[in-house]
Structure 1
Amino acid sequence: MSRPLCRRCCRPLSHCLCALIPSLDSRTRVLILQHPSEVKHALNTARLAALGLVNAELCVGEVFAELQGWLERPGYQSCLLFPGEGAQPLASLPSDMPLQLVVPDGTWRKAAKLLHMNPLLATLPRVTLAEGGVSRYRLRKAPMAGALSTIEAIVQALDSLEAPRQFGELLRPFEALIEGQIAAMGEDVFKRNHAVGPARHCDEADKSAFPPARE
């Protein structure tokens, strides 16, 4: 028999995270495009990000028929937060117009598929995060050193774009989620299976995150 779920955070009612989710406004709009395979994942950080930001939207799918309208939202300049050829560090962008940050959410392979199936995304200016980000996401192996989960990437991006304002409060439910998962599996099991080591930054099939900019 399945446990009753919170309709908002989609966690079991006994482990609801809603009390920890902030309501943060931002000049930057965040549009998260989530691959369907991530929706029911226990560690759905994109949903936590969307719930915690007033100026954010989470859209689930593989092909987004309404994408052009979303990208042409009045008053915003859209850009794609994803590494690739020609990507610029966020800090180098002009600040005269609010940005709409388009963030694909999924494994590296699924995120790349979203870009392939939605060619309009390739027309956007591409931006990346600054180097030095350290992930707190201890339950998934990063594909490379410096990779961040979706919610961590969004926080780092907003911190950069809207400095000196900081958005670390958005990570409170994320950190509680990680701690709860570790407690449920037991410290010994966690250390045996998830402790970070040199060989654990190589599995591209694991959920990414966003690697740092390479200048």
Structure 2
Amino acid sequence: MLQHPSETDHALNTARLAALGLNNAALLIGETFPDLPTLLADPVYQPCLLFPGDQAQTLVAPIEETDAKPLLLVVLDGTWRKARKLLHVNPALSLLPRIALPAGRQSRYRLRKAPAPGMISTLEAIVCALNLLEAPRNFDALLVPFEALIDQQIAAMGEQTYLRNHVNHVLAE
């Protein structure tokens, strides 16, 4: 995962939750990653970028090819604007094949307004991608701490504040 530096102090920091919850994950923080071409050149893996776009192949089921290299899933963490900046300032990323999640995902992140329907947190995207790529294995357990942190934030702000600032705002859209 490549995380924009502005994300490191966020209360939920979903990329950090993913890195802590997965055995074979790394979290790199920065805007530019000069060593990225070397990291992506590992002959053991087939790197791909989890990021929507015109050339992105939609994930629908596990890849069944037995002789295929395991995927090295590169995920960008930041607001959509900052994630696009990471993509722009790191040319090695534009050379990667892109994969995208199926449409219609609903975010569980009840405290953050998504700029458009189907936009989910980094952790939710990783869980969704891994559930598709690694089926029948299931990675939903990674969402348990995420849900607990959301519940704690709602409790800390109080039910009325949550309802006034988040629920009614979402319903009005």
1:113-171 Cα distance to aligned partner (Å, 9 max, x none): 10111011000001100123221100100111121100000000000001011000111
Q: 1:113 aligns with which of 65, 74, 85?
A: 85
Q: What residue in structure 2 maps to residue 125 of structure 1?
A: 97
Deviation, 1:192, is: 0.7
Q: What residue in structure 2 maps to residue 154 of structure 1?
A: 126
SS in 1 for 2:26: strand
1:37 aligns with 2:9: no
The percent of aligned pairs where both chains have the same amino acid is 63
Q: Name stretches of at least 5 consecutive residues in structure 1 with no aligned partner.
A: 1-31, 200-215
CA contact (8 A) 2:58 2:101 kept: yes
Normalising by structure 1, we get a TM-score of 0.75
SS in 1 for 2:164: helix
Distance 1:174 1:73 in 2: 31
Q: What residue in structure 2 maps to residue 12 of structure 1?
A: none
1:78-99 Cα distance to aligned partner (Å, 9 max, x none): 0000111211112375642210
Q: 2:32 aligns with which of 63, 77, 89?
A: 63
1:91 aligns with 2:63: no
Q: Give the paired residue count.
A: 168
Distance 2:108 2:40 in 1: 31
Normalising by structure 2, we get a TM-score of 0.93
The residue type equivalent to 2:58 in the other structure is: P
Distance 2:81 2:119 in 1: 15
Distance 2:83 2:15 in 1: 13
Q: 1:189 aligns with which of 154, 158, 161?
A: 161
Over the residues paired in the alignment, what is the CA RMSD in angstroms? 1.3
Q: Name stretches of at least 5 consecutive residues in structure 2 with no aligned partner.
A: none
Distance 1:94 1:82 in 2: 22
